[in-house]
Structure 1
């Protein structure tokens, strides 16, 4: 990726903001789980597991986006892949009956919308073109 590309910089700022929102919601959810931990109808082992996975994923996404913005093709590839897989996993979580309480399905729906935005920007034509491997025509 070329340095000082205002359009790419703007796209990565958007990605960072979206992921920061995803991380903030995830941390707040984990804090709520800690506060409600004594209610087994609201906080199940699956809720704990999912919340921790989401926070870890959000932190990794911040790292991927930061490195991608600095030009790392590998980090950009990981950002693109995770940003697509995450909303798909969230759709499955929302669709599975009885696995998670309604409040967490709503929270995951919000996270899914945020990550769909990340996926749209990260997988958009412009950023992909910035990271495309240029083929040497003189081969």
Structure 2
């Protein structure tokens, strides 16, 4: 159980300008992830309406990744307000998601190359989140329990 001085130190760290700048950058990266996901889904829709191939995989994955972006953003907001649980979730998701996105894109024949490239760009935004959430500013604000 944490003592009062540990909690006061953590609260002070959350108010630090470096910590808030790090959270602002994380929010921008997540917004970029959502924007790229929206572009992917929009491109799939345009291709489907113009008679090009748009597989159910492309539709479902595009929709899921777009739907996840606001959820991760909300977790980041909660983390910036001091929620360790939300911070840990954001840190975990930002590590797992790029691996999953890129790993699935590497399966031959599952999706076209253009789709894999754009999804890879969204994964880069999440890699940025993973790096920042493991950086000094946020690690100091959320010391290991």
Range class of TM-score, shorter chain: 0.7 to 0.9
Q: Closer, same or farther in 2 for the Cα pair 1:72/1:39, shift >3 Å?
A: same
Q: Which moved more, 1:86-95 or 1:10-19?
A: 86-95
Structure 2: any 5+ residue segments left out of the alignment?
A: 1-9
2:135 is the alignment partner of 1:124: yes
Higher helix share: 2
Q: How far has the Cα of 1:94 moved from its partner?
A: 2.2
Distance in 2, Cα, partners of 1:61 & 1:20: 10
TM-score scaled by structure 2?
Answer: 0.84
CA-based RMSD of the aligned residues comes to 1.7
> 2:51 & 2:139 partners in 1: Cα distance?
45
Aligned partner of 2:102 in structure 1 is 91
Alignment pair present for 1:64 and 2:57: no
Mean Cα displacement is larger for which, 117-126 or 75-84? 117-126
TM-score if structure 1 supplies the norm length?
Answer: 0.88
Which secondary structure does the structure 2 equivalent of 1:36 belong to?
helix
Q: Which residue of 2 is the match for residue 75 of structure 1?
A: 86
Q: For 1:42 and 1:10, locate their aligned partners in 2 and report how far apart those are by CA, in whole Å.
A: 42
Aligned length: 134
1:65 Cα deviation after fit: 0.8
